[in-house]
Structure 1
Amino acid sequence: MSLEVRNLTKSYGNKIVVDHLSFEMPKPGVYALLGTNGAGKTTSIRMILGMLSRDEGEVLWNNKPLDTATCNVGYLAEERGLYPKYTLMDQLIYFAELRGVDKAEAKKRIHYWSNRLELDEYLYPTKPVRRSMLGGRSGGLNSAPATVPTASKKADQLSKGNQQKVQFLISLISNPELLILDEPLSGLDPVNTDLFKSIIREVISEGKYLIMSSHQMAVVEEFCTDLTILDRSKVVLQGHLNAIKKSYGRVNLFLKTETDASRYIEMSGAQIVSRNEFEYKIKVSGEAQANSLLGALIESKISVVTFDLREPSLHEIFVEKVGAADEG
């Protein structure tokens, strides 16, 4: 299987919102679609899914036009989209049947993902009852209280974070071959962020194709192998993440000393980006400048605790590329 996006273009009047976007996924993995607010990420996703018409371009799945009616696709939208007054279980069964999953199989999958997403108290709630109502005898003071199942909660009874979990479940219920996640971790607390990430890892391990849009660069670095960065509708950077970072070289130096080293850093020509007492984040031109600084510190008998030379983070690359495009 493979996914290929060719020259997607969309305009509203004279304003181009996506300008000839192309990328491909020849094998399973995670592709990141990044960009500033309003850069065209969500519009691109909606064109890929056929939810929005294209002025130009095509999307191919296995060398044929992608048709969500026949291709098993899951989609987690950034916006919440549950029906507030219907029970969650009814909605999940409904969306499963829309994707061709029969009711019995849907119930099995809902049970699995409900447990993984920690939604059981909303999907399988119970209420206490008197044992006499069940026709049984009281077991004494130490007996467990009797409970019976009750109807699942409605969407408007859930927090935004738990509604997001339910929508994630909906995107997974058809066991999709292609999963598209638009800002999947937006608004989640740290515990639920880790929960979502563990499920994303599970999906990746199953050999799925994922497209992820996110403003959280550390998350993108954790999961994605290839990426496109959009700014004002245009592609400003595209390629394999490791190759992109390698092309910059190791220019970020994290230095910790036991005494003040700022004079030696300045003498080396390196730039102090931030400082906390004797801990420094430094921008260097490359390994030669970093090694020259290290030599000067050793020669001057400055005790070095940490000397860590790294490639730039995706966050730094993103800011540089978007800033350069904006200035241009």
Structure 2
Amino acid sequence: MLQLGLVAGVAAYAPAPLFAQSTAADASGAKLVLLGTKGGPRVGGTRSNPANALVVDGSIYVIDTGMGVSAQFVKAGLDFRKLKAIFISHMHSDHELEFGNFLYNNWVTNSLTNPIHAYGPKGMDEMVRDYWALNHLDIDTRIADEGRVDPRELVHGHDLQFVPQQVMQDDKVRVSALPTPHKPLHNFAYRFDTPYGSVVYSGDTSYYEPLAEFAKGADVLVHEALYVPGVDALTKRARGGEAFRNHIINAHTTTDEVGKIAQLAGVKKLVMSHFVPGDMEWITDDMWREGAARHYSGEIIVGRDLQEIPVS
């Protein structure tokens, strides 16, 4: 069972032993695949919108489904038939816009044959139902003409209460969630504990020290990152004002703050992703890394689309 303590007024996670050790014959390991590393809803540039896949002994768990996730999933060589569950961090479009189409693309390839559970903040169950309703003519036609299974019976949306909690557990992974500040929406950070190690995904959040406690001892921390000099250029391009700029600054975590969280958590690897802004090529990897490296002494990876990161 998940062991809970109270730190800074929220639940702190100290995972108990989860799984029996795999034998050499059946151990294939775990890896994180960064499907999309650009923050925000804008399309274009060299990065796709936010999406990730955790692969554990072949089973696949997708975290966020921004625009482009289906194409990136295929480019990464992942198998729709191995998809087990989907986790949405929050209801900004860059994190859920292709949720329905991703499920549809799974179904239309005849890969959706077993139940898939989708977890996220309030609105998940409604989003599942609304997507099937929007596309009911196509779905009903293909069921009748092509003999397909009914996808509406296989996908189950789960609205999570906005509290620290264990979300689910199967034979590959245990998933826990921590609410983090990303006003005005509810965001969840997720922790994935596997037989091979642990991955924590921040979702979108401003600086939040309880997240460091949540990520304590993890092998990989995937954290969003904001580069402050780039925000001025982003504000100018978007023809935004001071309110627009302040929203971006206040709702996200600067590169310096990301390093502080990683150091407090004591994680083995920091993976910077969900870059804000993520489509300005003049911002180099060294620029992203510099702020975090002032505070974190471990390995820093500036994430790239389709990059694979071993979990160990």
Structure 1 or 2: larger helix share? 1
- Which protein shows a greater Rg? 1
Q: Is TM > 0.5 for Structure 1 vs Structure 2?
A: no
TM-score normalised according to structure 1 size: 0.25
